[in-house]
Chains A and B, each alone.
Chain A
Amino acid sequence: ETGVTQTPRHLVMGMTNKKSLKCEQHLGHNAMYWYKQSAKKPLELMFVYSLEERVENNSVPSRFSPECPNSSHLFLHLHTLQPEDSALYLCASSQYGPNTEAFFGQGTRLTVV
C-alpha cells in the first residue's frame, strides 16, 4: 500500500452517468496530480494542484472536472464521458518545486460503456 490511496479501484460507467474518483495522500505533500494512462500511450498529465490552487490544466475536456478541497484530498468528477476516456487514471503527490519525485496511487481502471 502506497502513501497515496485511490478509490474506487475499478469503475464501469455509462456515457450519461456522473461519477467521481477520489484520491488521498498521507505523505504531507503540497502538490497533487491527475494522470491518464491509456493503452500504448505515455502517461498524460491532466491537472496539477499546488497548495490547493490549480497550476496546470493540459487542455483537458470539460467533462473532466477536478476538485482539491485541501492538500490531502483530490477528486476528479466525471460526466458524459466517451468510450475513448476508458483508461487508467492515476493520482500522484509530491512536494511542490523542481526536482522532486512523485508518489503514485494504485489508480482507477475506468471503463466507459
Chain B
Amino acid sequence: EDKVVQSPLSLVVHEGDTVTLNCSYEVTNFRSLLWYKQEKKAPTFLFMLTSSGIEKKSGRLSSILDKKELSSILNITATQTGDSAIYLCAVNSGGYQKVTFGIGTKLQVIP
C-alpha cells in the first residue's frame, strides 16, 4: 500500500522565521511528488517535482526532491501570517491522478 508521511504534524512560528516541512513516501511506481497549500477548504497547487535534486522555487517558497531518500522538503523563508495553512504532500503513482496524500502539516505563523 502506498504511503506518504509528513512531519511535523503542526508547527507554530513567528513572522520572519524560516520553516522546513518534510515529506517521505513509499510507493510502488513513483511518478511525481506534489505540494499543495490548504487554507480553508480548497487545496491549491504549489509545486510538482519529478527529478531528484532540482529545486523548484516560487517567491519565498522552494521545494526539492530526493529520490534516493524517498523524501522532499518544502522551505518557506521570511514567513508571513498569510502562510498559515495546512501544507499537503502527495505522490502520484499512476497514469492518471492516482495520488496518495499525506495527512498534512498545519503551519501557524504568529505576528
List A residues at the B interface (Cβ < 8 Å).
2, 4, 31, 33, 40-45, 48, 50, 55-56, 88, 90, 92, 94, 96-107, 109
B contacts with A, residue count (CB < 8 A): 27
**Shortest Cβ gap from A20 to chain B (Å):** 19
Contacts of B36 in A (CB 8 A): 104
Query: Is A33's CB under 8 angstroms from B43's CB?
Result: no
Contacts of B102 in A (CB 8 A): 42
Given contacts A48-B97, A98-B95, contact A42 B4 (CB under 8 A): yes
Query: Is A90's CB under 8 angstroms from B48's CB?
Result: no
Chain A residue nearest to B89 in the complex (CB): A42
Query: Is B92's CB under 8 angstroms from A106's CB?
Result: no
List B residues at the A interface (Cβ < 8 Å).
4, 31-32, 34, 36, 40-45, 48, 50, 88, 90, 92, 94-104
Contacts of A42 in B (CB 8 A): 4, 100-104
Query: Is A56's CB under 8 angstroms from B103's CB?
Result: no
**Shortest Cβ gap from B5 to chain A (Å):** 10
Contacts of B4 in A (CB 8 A): 42
Contacts of A33 in B (CB 8 A): 97
Query: Is B96's CB under 8 angstroms from A104's CB?
Result: no
**Shortest Cβ gap from B93 to chain A (Å):** 9
